[in-house]
């Protein structure tokens, strides 16, 4: 009696006969488990393992490539929500705006009196209708700039580096306000946006882009920096510009090897520490003067 031929089955579905092997692990696979490969077919497990071991593409600055500007969406959402909160409760602005201290004889408030959160919360608030020179156009203009510039910068830097840049630029703007005009109340994302604009210029130089359009944009930005000395807080703008430029220089010119991430992270940590030390020194002077 002739020997009955052996029947091979799929390793994932033993009830299904199979005559095709995975080109990677050589196990038998059925049609539902087959995945097209460069040569032949692979099983589901081998495809997943290959995806984990394949090195993910990175931008020139080390960021992960992503088609969705998620951080920019979130930042715009936070600014809009904060603005709606201001409209609902006007006291929100005075509770969270950037303020170093108040003149003698007033109730103590501001960074000098322990409200350190103002160094960042003020960057998410904006002027409300009927207030100041701009009113609602303040938040609208800033969100348009954030949408146009933020998407480009985030695509090149990746989400983590981009968020660090944004927050450090906002912090840099607030610290310069604290150092130069501690009794001035300031609100707005402009400091952070000046930092993103500095990043836009540095990245263009590093990537070898045609700088004519970029330089025109930066020329208009610097003109606005001068005009803002009479209309808004030039200190926040300049502080954000300098902080954003410093961070992006580290991103752009860090070594492209295993040292890149430590160098980039180290510069961000060092800048954060330097800004906080400057703020602490100024606060110590303000509180010491008030005590005297």
Query: Domain boundaries in the chain?
Result: 7-45, 70-268
Mean pLDDT of 264-292: 88
Spatial distance between the Cα atoms of 98 and 76, rounded to a whole number of angstroms: 19
User: Please, which residues have CB within 8 angstroms of residue 267's CB and are 6 or more apart in sequence?
Assistant: 246, 247, 250, 254
User: What six digits make up the tokens of 219?
Assistant: 């020329």
Residue 7 has pLDDT above 80, yes or no: no
Mean pLDDT of 238-264: 93
Task: Note the pLDDT of residue 169.
Answer: 97
SS3 state of residue 42: strand
Task: Give me the helices (H) in the chain, please.
Answer: 44-53, 70-88, 91-96, 118-121, 137-157, 159-180, 190-207, 211-231, 234-253, 260-291
Nearest to 225 by CA among 193, 260, 185: 193
Mean pLDDT of the chain: 87
Q: How far is CA 139 from the centre of its chain?
A: 18
Between 84-88, 142-146, 176-180, 255-259, the lowest mean confidence (pLDDT) is in 255-259
User: What six digits make up the tokens of 101?
Assistant: 């201290």
Report whether 188 contacts 125 (CB < 8 A): yes
Mean pLDDT of 261-272: 96
**What are the pLDDT digits (tens) for 125-134?**
998 887 655 6
Report whether 243 contacts 173 (CB < 8 A): yes
Task: Note the pLDDT of residue 205.
Answer: 86
User: What six digits make up the tokens of 245?
Assistant: 């430029």
Mean pLDDT of 184-204: 92
Residue 207 has pLDDT above 90, yes or no: no
Report whether 211 contacts 204 (CB < 8 A): yes
As its CATH architecture, domain 70-268 has Up-down Bundle (1.20)
Residue 3 has pLDDT above 50, yes or no: no
Spatial distance between the Cα atoms of 285 and 277, rounded to a whole number of angstroms: 12
Q: How far is CA 11 from CA 19, 34, 73, 244, in A?
A: 11, 12, 45, 55
Spatial distance between the Cα atoms of 289 and 104, rounded to a whole number of angstroms: 10
Spatial distance between the Cα atoms of 110 and 182, rounded to a whole number of angstroms: 9
Task: Note the pLDDT of residue 65.
Answer: 81
Task: Note the pLDDT of residue 63.
Answer: 85
Q: Taking the model in full, what pTM does it have? A: 0.79
Task: Note the pLDDT of residue 93.
Answer: 92
Q: Which residue has better confidence, 136 or 79?
A: 79
Mean pLDDT of 109-138: 87
CA end-to-end distance (rounded Å), the chain: 111
Task: Note the pLDDT of residue 282.
Answer: 96
User: What six digits make up the tokens of 237?
Assistant: 């703008």
Task: Note the pLDDT of residue 228.
Answer: 63
């Amino acid at each position: 009696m002739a020997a009955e031929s052996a029947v091979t089955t799929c390793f994932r579905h033993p009830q299904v006969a199979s005559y095709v092997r995975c080109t990677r692990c050589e196990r038998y696979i059925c049609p539902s488990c087959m995945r097209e490969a460069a040569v032949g077919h692979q099983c589901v497990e081998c495809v997943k393992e290959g995806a984990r071991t394949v090195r993910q593409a990175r931008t020139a600055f080390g960021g992960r490539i992503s088609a969705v500007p998620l951080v920019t969406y979130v930042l715009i959402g936070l600014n809009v929500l904060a603005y709606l909160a201001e409209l609902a409760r006007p006291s929100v602005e005075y509770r969270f705006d950037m303020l170093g201290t108040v003149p003698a004889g007033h109730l103590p408030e501001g960074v000098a009196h322990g409200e350190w959160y103002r160094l960042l919360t003020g960057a998410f608030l904006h002027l409300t209708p009927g207030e100041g020179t701009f009113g609602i156009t303040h938040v609208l203009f800033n969100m348009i700039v954030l949408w146009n510039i933020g998407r480009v910068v985030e695509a090149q830097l990746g989400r983590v580096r981009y968020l660090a840049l944004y927050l450090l630029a906002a912090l840099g703007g607030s610290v310069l306000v604290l150092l130069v005009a501690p009794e001035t109340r300031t609100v707005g994302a402009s400091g952070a946006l000046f930092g993103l604009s500095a990043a836009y210029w540095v990245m263009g130089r590093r990537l070898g882009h045609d700088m004519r359009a970029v330089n025109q944009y930066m020329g208009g930005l610097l003109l606005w920096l001068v005009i803002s000395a009479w209309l808004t807080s030039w200190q926040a703008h300049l502080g954000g510009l300098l902080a954003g430029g410093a961070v992006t220089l580290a991103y752009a010119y860090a070594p492209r090897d295993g040292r890149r991430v430590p160098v980039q992270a180290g510069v961000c940590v060092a800048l954060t520490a330097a800004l906080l030390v400057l703020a602490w020194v100024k606060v110590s002077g303000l509180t010491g003067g008030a005590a005297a």
